[in-house]
Amino acid sequence: MSTISARVGASLTINESFSSAEMPLASSPSVRHAAANLSKSLGASTTPSATKCYNAAPTGSASLDLTSLTDTLGASLDLTGLKVLALIVANPSGNAADVVIADGSSNPYSLNGGDDLTIPPGATACLYFAEQLDDVGAAAKAIDITAGVGESYSLSLVAG
């Protein structure tokens, strides 16, 4: 059984510079904005602990059953009893269509409070949920993904 180690990160650091007329008492008239930046390390010994991962580069639309996935080496991967802790989806700029992540139509697993997550071409969405989502199980296991016909995208998630 593999050991999982993951780093979840999302950042937007902005340095805003001002003239000495705008900030006359400041020796260095600038402000750095980084309050929402995220950097988390996850593994078997962290809280929350990360014990399983799923990585794929699907083509087109799909329904993802979190109780019946395939791991990196091609073996069966079941996330039953675990929570999705983090997810990243990248939609290449060469694609024509959005990638839309939605609760499954049957036995939905809710990632975004029931709202769809739309990733336009050229964009990447990285979400960190900590331990806020439901456990994967028979009644909460499906994620629907809508993408352009023949268009690939990248999807990775960590669960624990």
75: left (phi over 0), alpha (psi -120 to 50) or beta: beta
Radius of gyration of the chain (CA): 19
DSSP 8-state symbol, 140? B
Q: pTM of the full predicted structure?
A: 0.88
DSSP string, 30-90: EEEE-TT-EEEEEETTSSS---EEEEE--BS-EEEETTSEE-TTS-EE--BT--EEEEEEE
Q: What is the pLDDT along the chain (160 residues), one digit of tens a residue?
A: 688 899 999 888 999 998 888 888 877 788 899 998 999 999 999 999 999 999 999 999 999 999 999 999 999 999 999 999 999 999 999 999 999 999 999 999 999 989 999 999 999 999 999 999 999 999 999 999 999 999 999 999 999 9
In order of their start, the domains of the chain are 40-159 (2.60.120)
The SS3 assignment for 15 reads strand
